[in-house]
């Protein structure tokens, strides 16, 4: 495993991190989820990402149980706050001081730890003053419940405003967590340059685009049994259905010879592609089986040739989404 600094800080994270969005507590049962965490540890992954909203807090519980026997100082544990938890009452969501202060306590209890290494605003909250949010984060840091602050899916303008307040409050905002992969590059024109200027790293999710970039979904064929595209109850199918077009799947199949030439699987090629960007500190990978976790982790430290990078661009062509869409944050967090 290789390691990179997270933003303008002294914190090192593993290039491949393990995340449990739409898996632990929903798509994957606890025993298999624990086996995946053990596999991540076995291949040298030290960075683990979750959120209180994942499976309505169950994902944090499962991760906390799986890591309970590990030396805490050898891990980097990330979690997030914003989306509704519990019964979803009026104060069970957002980035108000009340919700942040109550949520960090709940997350620490579920994760069985005294602190998290990174506490992230899961989206931007248009309905709470940013000053209130950042002051609450500062208090969480000063109380020793989090070491650093991060955000997810914030626009360049929001990143600048949040970073300015963090600097004023003398806390470190060091990361942004966006979606980023060879098919989805909307952060490249504006978000990445802004973050480079501010000393903020990307901790990216969906580096293999919900499994699309593994090549297992074939044009004109039924989706594989047991794949995320068949997960109607856990929500996985909703995230992937818009990508299952014959045009996109045909273009993805053209990546197979490029992966073979690099001695990589298609999944490893996709993860390695993300890590070619110096502003990316870590790529969050999941997995419903331990062998998937190990396969993804083998992409750490891989340097793709210029010919391969060009070949990926040529193969995917206009299937790549490049136009910045701004934040994914809903204008109202109550809808």
pLDDT value of position 244: 79
SS3 146: strand
* Backbone phi and psi for residue 93, each to the nearest 5 degrees, phi listed first: -155, 165
Domain enclosing residue 111, as ranges = 11-319
Give the angle subtended at the CA of 116 by the CAs of 111 and 120, to the nearest 5°: 105
Is residue 332, in this structure, part of any structural domain at all? no
Give the tokens for residue 70: 């590990």
What is the tens place of the pLDDT at every residue in 268-291?
999 999 999 999 999 999 877 899
74's CB contacts (< 8 A; 6+ apart) are: 46
Is residue 252, in this structure, part of any structural domain at all? yes
Q: How far is CA 146 from the centre of its chain?
A: 18
- The helix or strand, by DSSP H or E, that contains position 283, with its residue range, turns out to be strand 280-285
**Cβ atoms of residues 144 and 175 within 8 Å:** no
Question: 201-204 and 116-121 as β-strands: parallel, antiparallel, unpaired?
Answer: unpaired
Give the tokens for residue 248: 């996109």
Is residue 174 packed enough to be buried (19+ CB in 10 Å), middle (13-18) or exposed (0-12)? buried
Structural domains counted in the chain: 1
**CA distance linking residue 104 with residue 99, whole number of Å:** 8
Is residue 333, in this structure, part of any structural domain at all? no
pLDDT value of position 114: 98
CA nearest neighbour of 330 among 78, 20, 84: 84
Is residue 270, in this structure, part of any structural domain at all? yes
* Backbone phi and psi for residue 158, each to the nearest 5 degrees, phi listed first: -70, -40
Tokens 């739409």 identify what position? 22
SS3 147: strand
The reported pTM is: 0.90
Is residue 5, in this structure, part of any structural domain at all? no
Cα-only R_g, the chain:
19
pLDDT value of position 25: 47
Instruction: Name beta bridge partners: 150.
Output: 120, 175
Is residue 327, in this structure, part of any structural domain at all? no
Catalytic residues: 54
pLDDT value of position 220: 73
pLDDT value of position 230: 47
Domain at 300, CATH number: 3.20.20.100
**CA distance linking residue 99 with residue 286, whole number of Å:** 27
Is residue 247, in this structure, part of any structural domain at all? yes
* Backbone phi and psi for residue 147, each to the nearest 5 degrees, phi listed first: -95, -35
pLDDT value of position 272: 97
Report, as ranges of residue numbers, the positions in the chain whose pLDDT lies below 70. 22-29, 221, 223-242, 325-330, 332-335
What is the tens place of the pLDDT at every residue in 134-172?
999 999 999 999 999 999 999 999 999 999 999 999 999
Angle in degrees, 0-180, between the axes of helices 266-275 and 306-316, rounded to the nearest 10: 110
Is residue 329, in this structure, part of any structural domain at all? no
pLDDT value of position 286: 84
């Amino acid at each position: 495993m290789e390691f990179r600094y997270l933003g303008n800080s002294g914190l090192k994270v593993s290039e491949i991190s393990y995340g449990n969005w739409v898996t632990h507590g929903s798509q994957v049962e606890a025993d298999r989820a624990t086996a995946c965490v053990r596999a991540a540890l076995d291949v040298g992954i030290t960075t683990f990402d979750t959120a209180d909203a994942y499976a309505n807090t169950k994902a944090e519980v499962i991760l906390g149980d799986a890591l309970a026997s590990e030396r805490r100082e050898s891990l980097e544990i990330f979690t997030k706050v914003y989306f509704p938890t519990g019964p979803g009452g009026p104060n069970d969501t957002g980035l108000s001081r009340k919700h942040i202060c109550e949520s960090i306590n709940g997350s620490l209890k579920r994760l069985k730890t005294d602190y998290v290494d990174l506490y992230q605003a899961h989206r931007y909250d248009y309905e709470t003053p940013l000053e209130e949010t950042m002051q609450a984060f500062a208090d969480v840091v000063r109380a020793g419940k989090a070491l650093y602050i991060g955000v997810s899916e914030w626009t360049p303008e929001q990143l600048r405003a949040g970073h300015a307040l963090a600097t004023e409050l003398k806390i470190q905002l060091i990361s942004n967590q966006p979606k980023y992969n060879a098919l989805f590059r909307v952060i490249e024109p504006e978000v990445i340059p802004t973050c480079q200027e501010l000393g903020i790293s990307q901790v990216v999710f969906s580096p293999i685009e919900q499994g699309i970039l593994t090549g297992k979904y074939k044009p004109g064929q039924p989706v594989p049994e047991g794949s995320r595209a068949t997960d109607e109850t856990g929500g996985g199918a909703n995230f992937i259905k818009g990508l299952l077009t014959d045009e996109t799947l045909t273009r993805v199949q053209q990546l197979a010879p490029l992966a073979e030439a690099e001695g990589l699987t298609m999944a490893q090629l996709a993860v390695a592609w993300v890590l070619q960007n110096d502003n990316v500190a870590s790529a969050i990978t999941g997995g419903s089986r331990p062998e998937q976790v190990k396969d993804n982790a083998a992409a750490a430290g891989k340097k793709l040739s210029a010919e391969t990078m060009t070949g990926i661009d040529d193969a995917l062509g206009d299937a790549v989404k490049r136009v910045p869409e701004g934040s994914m944050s809903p204008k109202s967090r109550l809808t």
